[in-house]
């Protein structure tokens, strides 16, 4: 009988009434009335630049061919230009998640350890556990460290076997972001200890201000880029991995997706980058106004608070601990009202019972429905 690998993920516990996580996600996907605040997806693109490019690709039947295995050169250049990293090397991947996996696979040896944070994007810990000796998940859910992995915490937890420090910036699920001084300090740590910074910048474009580690430690940084969030292309699965040529040449030797990334998605990604200046301000203005509505609601409810405000992502956490209401109860209650949110244990092993994560890159009128129902839910559930 085949035994599960030591790094196998525990099966996701589906919400009440569903046999599996897949059945649950099929349900919320197919219910067109669901307000989508559970996966940090972006539903605010009103202009059709991206869609039109993909439709043109379909109508021309270009999808009958394989694309270049590392991504279209035009797309690669546009991504590097977007980050001002034109002197770096790049591979286009099937989403930021594939880039994270490739990084862990390529860099890590069995004796290495990896520093991540809790709360965080737990799939990174899973990937790291497959190729390293140990994953050190640093508890960060505290105002003492501004709810993020600080250089001081890294120094406390790292040792001579630390090979990768993971910086999710801005951080899913809290929305905390790094200052330029903090990024410079991380860069110094990486260079002095000959280790890598894995800089996951999936939510970068929602931030009020953002700094790339690759600008300060280019030889010791691997940057993970995604089209899922600001570009609103989550279902198309496209991203990239960026680093110096030596690093990316090494990653090339372990590529699985040797026949290229979705051609239609690449057409959309090219259009997304070319049109970005025409729509990004509108989207960030809406998201920032939406989180003001959520903050005003939370401030009116005793025992509830937002750990990181303003969030520099398109999501934030709402701490419910003092109310006695569990995040899972809250998520199930809201789901009955056709509002999809996520309980904290999706992004934290240590603090999942504290908070509900909600994303707000959706139309304002839907946020107002959430605000109304959330107030009612707290009072109903804590009775």
Q: pLDDT per residue over 126-173, tens digit each?
A: 999 999 999 999 999 999 999 999 999 999 999 999 999 999 999 999
Q: Is the pLDDT of residue 6 over 90?
A: no
Q: Please state, in angstroms and rounded to a whole number, the distance separating the CA atoms of residues 5 and 55.
A: 41
Per the CB < 8 A criterion, the answer to whether 208 and 193 are in contact is: no
Please tell me the total number of residues recorded for the chain in this structure.
Answer: 383
Q: How crowded is the C-beta side of 289, counted as CA atoms within 13 Å?
A: 13
> Between residues 18 and 347, which one has the greater pLDDT?
347
Q: Please state, in angstroms and rounded to a whole number, the distance separating the CA atoms of residues 373 and 383.
A: 16
- In 285-361, the DSSP E strands lie at 315-319, 339-340, 342-343, 355-359
Q: What is the DSSP string of 76-137?
A: HHHHHHHHT-TTSEEEEESSHHHHHHHHHHHH--TT-EEEEEESS-HHHHHHHHHHSSEEEE
Chain segment 311-355, per-residue pLDDT in tens: 999 999 999 999 999 999 999 999 999 999 999 999 999 999 999
Q: Please state, in angstroms and rounded to a whole number, the distance separating the CA atoms of residues 196 and 216.
A: 12
Tokens representing 174 are 């809290």
Nearest C-alpha neighbor of 50 from the set 296, 376, 278: 278
Residue 19 burial (C-beta neighbours within 10 Å; 0-12, 13-18, 19+) = exposed
Nearest C-alpha neighbor of 330 from the set 294, 307, 356: 356
Q: Does the domain made of 21-46+279-381 have the CATH classification 3.90.1150.10?
A: yes
Count of Cβ atoms closer than 10 Å to residue 31 Cβ: 12
CATH topology agreement for domains 21-46+279-381 and 48-277: no
Q: Does the domain made of 48-277 have the CATH classification 3.40.640.10?
A: yes
Task: Band the pLDDT of 273: cuts 50, 70, 90.
Answer: very high
- The structural domains of the chain, with segments of one domain joined by +, span 21-46+279-381, 48-277
């Amino acid at each position: 009988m085949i035994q599960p690998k030591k790094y196998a993920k525990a099966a996701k516990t589906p919400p009440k009434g569903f046999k599996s996580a897949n059945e649950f996600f099929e349900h919320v996907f197919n219910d067109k009335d669901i307000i989508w605040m559970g996966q940090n997806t972006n539903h605010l693109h009103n202009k059709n630049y991206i869609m039109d490019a993909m439709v043109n690709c379909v109508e021309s039947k270009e999808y009958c061919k394989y694309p270049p295995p590392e991504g279209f050169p035009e797309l690669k250049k546009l991504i590097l230009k977007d980050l001002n990293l034109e002197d770096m090397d790049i591979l286009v991947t099937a989403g930021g998640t594939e880039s994270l996996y490739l990084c862990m696979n390529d860099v890590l040896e069995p004796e290495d350890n990896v520093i991540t944070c809790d709360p965080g994007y737990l799939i990174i810990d899973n990937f790291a556990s497959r190729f390293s000796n140990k994953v050190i998940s640093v508890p960060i859910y505290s105002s003492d460290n501004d709810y993020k992995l600080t250089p001081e915490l890294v120094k406390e937890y790292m040792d001579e076997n630390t090979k990768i420090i993971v910086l999710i910036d801005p951080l899913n699920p809290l929305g905390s972001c790094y200052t330029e001084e903090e990024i410079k300090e991380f860069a110094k740590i990486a260079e002095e200890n000959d280790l890598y910074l894995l800089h996951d910048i999936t939510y970068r474009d929602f931030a009020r201000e953002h700094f790339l580690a690759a600008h300060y430690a280019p030889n010791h940084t691997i940057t993970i880029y995604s089209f899922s969030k600001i570009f609103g292309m989550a279902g198309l699965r496209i991203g990239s991995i960026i680093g110096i040529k030596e690093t990316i040449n090494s990653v090339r030797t372990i590529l699985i997706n040797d026949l290229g990334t979705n051609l239609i998605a690449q057409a959309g990604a090219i259009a997304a980058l070319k049109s970005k200046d025409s729509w990004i301000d509108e989207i960030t203005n809406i998201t920032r106004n939406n989180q003001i509505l959520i903050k005003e609601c939370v401030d009116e409810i005793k025992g509830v608070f937002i750990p990181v405000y303003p969030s520099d992502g398109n999501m934030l956490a709402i701490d419910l601990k003092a109310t006695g209401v569990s995040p899972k109860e809250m998520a199930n209650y809201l789901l009955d009202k056709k509002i999809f949110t996520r309980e904290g244990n999706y992004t934290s092993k240590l603090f999942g019972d504290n908070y509900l994560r909600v994303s707000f890159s959706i139309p304002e009128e839907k946020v107002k429905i959430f605000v109304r129902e959330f107030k009612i839910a707290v009072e109903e559930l804590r009775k």
